[in-house]
Amino acid sequence: MSKGTVVLAYSGGLDTSCILVWLKEQGYNVIAYLANIGQDEDFEAARKKAESLGAKKVFIEDLRSQFVEDFIWPAVQANAVYEDRYLLGTAVARPCIAHRQVEIARREGAQFVSHGATGKGNDQIRFELTCYALYPEVKIIAPWRIPEFYNRFRGRTDLMEYAQKHGIPVPVTPRAPWSMDANLMHISYESGILENPKSHAPADLYLMTKNPEDSPNEPDVLEIEFKNGVPVRVTNVKESASKDTPLDIFSYLNEIGGKHGVGRIDIVENRFIGMKSRGIYETPGGTVLLKAHLDIETFTMDKEVRRIKQGLSIRFSELVYNGFWDSPECDFVRHCIAKSQENVEGKVQLSVFKGQVYILGRESPKSLYNEELVSMDVQGNYDPCDASGFIRINAVRLREHHRLQGFSGTEK
């Protein structure tokens, strides 16, 4: 007798293929769900594989446009960066995947959802918090946290033996000595030989970006047009080629950024679960957009509004990294950030060259830049004498501090 129906987030790889068969062994009807968020995958081969392994149904969902518009664009508006360096490529993808997984589970009357995330990482938290938020009564099967599963499969060799025993096709090419996760926004690399934080990444690790040393000797000059803080058009100035749909814009920026080796980082970060981990990331299009958006935002946004928005950006980045995309506080922060972007409009010209993005110029109908006011050659509507009082008022606190504490603190 069936224990019920489970929607498995399926990748087509060894782990989730073994999980699919194992769930069937436990008495579940399995629906396999594979999200296309821009990874290089043979989706039809994955469908046939899941069907051959006994999946009751297989859903392959093209979420690329939704991923860009509903998840990447809010991150761009926020200038979302976790711990000053990580552009959150995996963290923004997980709620996108989980949203559709929950939608399928509800539609198919499935009481369970399952995933192949490990018990030490962030992804288990991101998947499950999203599922519980959107489907409160759902039950989650996380095999890598179930002792009878992880004690049975202690490594890749155990998985391979199980696969051969149950007729699961096994990889014929040697596995890279690290794990990799790819989507439209980035590729991340961790584990294996990368777990030693002193070890340098092998030269052949990177798949999305060229080594800057081997990149073209001529830059690409781009003009990116923004409206409400998101790009609406990108134009290659030299080639007069332009893109104007969200998916095309982001894909093109990936292409240009990747060609010039933009967006590589090698970091140690703090996982939400309480441990440090080493991760290597390449985020070419996202890095180009971050530089461009920062520039047009500073050009068009009031100083004090931006100061508040910077704090919201840090909070947003932490919430997304930790898996709280669908929390009420993250919803609130997203709305505040979106409000701040109403006048973030205009064009930024930049050069992409040898691993770097160089801002060349900007223009905006909503600019707060007053050329006459700031000019050293024109006095404009500004009296320099006013600065004397401004400085004296700001000096009151400093003078009093040092008068009352500063000098006494330096006495021997």
94 among known catalytic residues: yes
Please check whether residues 30 and 167 belong to one and the same domain.
Answer: yes
Confidence at 366, pLDDT banded by 50, 70, 90: very high
Residue 389 counted as domain residue: no
Residue of 47, 100, 114, 123 marked active site: 123
Confidence at 408, pLDDT banded by 50, 70, 90: low
User: Rounded to whole angstroms, how far apart are CA atoms 1 and 278?
Assistant: 45
**Is the separation of the CB atoms in 263 and 289 below 8 Å?**
no
pLDDT given for residue 407 in this prediction:
64
Q: What is the pLDDT of residues 190-234, one digit of tens each?
A: 999 999 999 999 999 999 999 999 999 999 999 999 999 999 999
Please check whether residues 60 and 195 belong to one and the same domain.
Answer: no
Q: Which of 48-52, 145-149, 382-386 has the lowest mean pLDDT?
A: 382-386
Residue of 11, 17, 64, 94 marked active site: 94
**Hey, what amino acid is at 6?**
V
Partners of residue 8 on adjacent β-strands: 32, 114
Residue that finishes a domain, picked among 114, 145, 175: 175
Q: What is the pTM of this model?
A: 0.94
What's the number of domains the chain is made of?
A: 2
CATH number for the domain that contains residue 142? 3.40.50.620
15 among known catalytic residues: yes
Residue 209 counted as domain residue: yes
List strands edge to edge, sheet with 264-270. 179-182, 187-190, 276-282, 264-270
Residue of 65, 70, 179, 191 marked active site: 179
**Is the separation of the CB atoms in 124 and 140 below 8 Å?**
no
Residue that finishes a domain, picked among 175, 192, 210: 175
181 among known catalytic residues: no
Please check whether residues 59 and 130 belong to one and the same domain.
Answer: yes
Confidence at 381, pLDDT banded by 50, 70, 90: confident
Q: What is the pLDDT of residues 88-112, one digit of tens each?
A: 999 999 999 999 999 999 999 999 9
Please check whether residues 168 and 199 belong to one and the same domain.
Answer: no
**Is the separation of the CB atoms in 12 and 19 below 8 Å?**
no
Q: What is the pLDDT of residues 240-264, one digit of tens each?
A: 899 999 999 999 999 999 999 999 9
Please check whether residues 356 and 282 belong to one and the same domain.
Answer: yes
* Alpha-carbon distance values, 210 to 205, 217, 220, 241, 328 (Å): 11, 13, 14, 22, 40
Please check whether residues 170 and 195 belong to one and the same domain.
Answer: no
Q: What is the mean pLDDT of the chain?
A: 95
Residue of 11, 15, 126, 220 marked active site: 15
Please check whether residues 48 and 83 belong to one and the same domain.
Answer: yes
Within 10 angstroms of residue 290's Cβ, the number of other Cβ atoms is 19
386 among known catalytic residues: no
Residues spanned by the domain of 59: 5-175
